[in-house]
């Protein structure tokens, strides 16, 4: 005899409120709208999934994505990858690239030979032709070794002077 308010609910669907009055039909049809869950997979699987910096799980994972959402996948030994998902996506499969190994160090071959006047002479023979990047990193190492040697000599003389 009077108005009654009800709410229809189901897992993974948006709830819907309805009002039934004495004038309402004897049967009421309710169509609930499915929530936009997205299945997130990765190659390789087992990647951590982050949304706004918060870990939400590990692939494969089904995640509610209601609007444009940026996700980040991280896996040890692989380059992190960022993707933007929408509620329209049903499933995504994201491939992660392996972190490339570091280039091998460049080492020069040194040959010590004795000259005619009994001195040791050092012949430096490059191990291989360096690329521009390798040359820069080799110079950085050389400068670090020279700097450490100079620092050690200065500390030695300062300590000797104090004693």
Do residues 16 and 30 make contact, with C-beta atoms less than 8 angstroms apart?
Answer: yes
User: What are the tens digits of pLDDT across the range 87-128?
Assistant: 788 899 999 999 998 888 887 665 555 555 555 555 555 555
- The string of DSSP letters for 109-161 reads EEEEEE-TTS-EEEEEE-SSPPPHHHHHHHHHHHHHHHHHHHHHHHHHHHHHH
Beta-carbon neighbour count of residue 48 at 10 Å?
Answer: 17
pLDDT of residue 141: 74
Enumerate the β-bridge partners of residue 87.
none
Whole-angstrom distance, CA of residue 6 vs CA of residue 9: 10
Enumerate the β-bridge partners of residue 18.
6
The answer to whether residue 25 scores a pLDDT higher than 70 is: yes
What is the chain's mean pLDDT, rounded? 82
User: What are the tens digits of pLDDT across the range 55-92?
Assistant: 999 999 999 999 999 999 999 999 999 999 987 888 99
- Confidence class for position 137, pLDDT limits 50, 70, 90: low
DSSP element (H, E) containing 8: strand 4-8
Long-range Cβ pairs for the range 73-77 (8 Å, 24+)? 73/40, 73/42, 73/47, 73/48, 73/49, 74/47, 74/48, 74/50, 75/42, 75/44, 75/46, 75/47, 75/48
């Amino acid at each position: 005899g009077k108005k009654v308010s009800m709410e229809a609910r189901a897992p993974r669907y948006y709830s819907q409120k309805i009002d039934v009055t004495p004038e309402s039909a004897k049967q009421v049809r309710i169509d609930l709208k499915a929530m936009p869950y997205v299945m997130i997979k990765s190659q390789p699987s087992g990647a951590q999934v982050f949304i706004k910096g918060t870990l939400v799980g590990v692939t494969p994972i089904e995640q509610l994505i209601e609007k444009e959402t940026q996700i980040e996948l991280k896996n040890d030994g692989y380059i992190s990858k960022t993707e933007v998902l929408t509620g329209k996506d049903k499933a995504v499969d994201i491939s992660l690239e392996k972190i490339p190994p570091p280039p091998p160090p460049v080492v020069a071959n040194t040959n010590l030979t004795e000259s005619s006047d009994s001195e040791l002479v050092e012949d430096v023979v490059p191990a291989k032709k360096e690329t521009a990047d390798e040359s820069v990193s080799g110079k950085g190492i050389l400068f670090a070794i020279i700097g450490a040697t100079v620092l050690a000599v200065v500390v030695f003389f300062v300590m000797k002077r104090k004693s």
